[in-house]
Structure 1
Amino acid sequence: MILVAVLAAVAMPKFDAALGLRSDAWRDEVVSALRHAHQTAVSHRRLVCAVVGSTSVTLTIAANNPATTCGSSLPGPDGGSAYTTSTGGTTASLSPAGTLYFQPNGRVTSDGAGSTASDRSITIGSTSIVVVGETGHVR
């Protein structure tokens, strides 16, 4: 019994710290994906769509400009396969829900046509990521 109590007292804080690191890593991946979407939309002058699920982020890009939908997978930063990032264990929630449309002018809107700028908040564990609609800034 004493051995179990000692192990619990020593191991539990380390286990909590490991879970915190996983949450921080997932948050950093989401921020990186959203910043990549913003930079790509502006530099390629095309609509980029970001779908933030509870455990993944997927980026797609429009084939031409102007466009109101994204139809092609956006390659990752290495130029390889489609940009998709996911985690196991830590979940994200987007408010308000829906696709983030990164416009060629840098704005983030609630629709592909770009008529309404939309601030978004993504919660991961106890931290949140804010996407400013008018500027596309991710913080």
Structure 2
Amino acid sequence: MTMRPGAAGFTMVELVVVMILIGVLAAIGIPRLMGDKNMEAAVFGDQVVSGLRRAQKIATGHRRVVCASVGPKAVIVRLNACGGAGLAVTGLGDGDYATTDSVLTVKTTTLFFQPDGRITTDAAGTTAVANGAIDITGNVNGQNTTFRTIRVEGTTGYVE
């Protein structure tokens, strides 16, 4: 096919394809560049839930009280007591359920998983957690945002 003189340029199909590609790249790339933390919050929320469920399974499986200390950036699981006084669970490090994200934080709380499956606020197991909620929040663009709420039901041991 021969071109007419002065007919150089792009066809309409080429222009539309380039515009579509730019739109797709902008839809994917701009939220990442602007600090969208939904994906990081979802992953960290899943880690917190997994840590709490694992603490419950260890408590019921070994018939021991397990303490889960939920801190600003991590869940630390210990046998019998929280902090350095508790025995570390074999095969479970303090960084297994943690985030390195500088924006995300978790409401600090301490939960005790009893051998019968209940979740309490004390090691003796006298006070069950009643409709507990653990919020994963972050300060994005000057606004405090709740990304995820984890529900904890003490009498049944349900963690969602």
TM-score, normalised to structure 1, is 0.76
Whether 2:89 is the aligned partner of 1:74: answer: yes
Secondary structure of the residue aligned to 2:76 is strand
Distance 1:19 1:55 in 2: 15
Match of 1:12 among 15, 20, 30: 30
**Aligned-partner SS, 2:158:** coil
- Partner residue in 2 for 1:66: none
**What pairs with 1:1-139 in structure 2 (closer than 5 Å)?**
10=26, 11-15=29-33, 19-62=37-80, 69=81, 71-75=86-90, 80-84=91-95, 85-89=97-101, 90-94=104-108, 98-119=109-130, 120-125=132-137, 126-139=147-160
Aligned to 1:3: none
Percent same amino acid at aligned positions?
A: 37
What RMSD over aligned residues (CA atoms) do the two structures have, in Å?
2.2
* TM-score, scaled relative to structure 2: 0.66
Unmatched 5+ residue regions in structure 1? Answer: 1-5, 63-68
Detail structure 1 runs of 4+ shifted over 4 Å in the superposition: none
Structure 2, unaligned runs of 5 or more: 1-21, 138-146
The higher radius of gyration belongs to 2
How many residues were matched structurally? 119
- Look up the match of 2:6: none
Q: Which has the higher contact order (CA 8 A, sep 6+)?
A: 1
SS in 1 for 2:46: helix
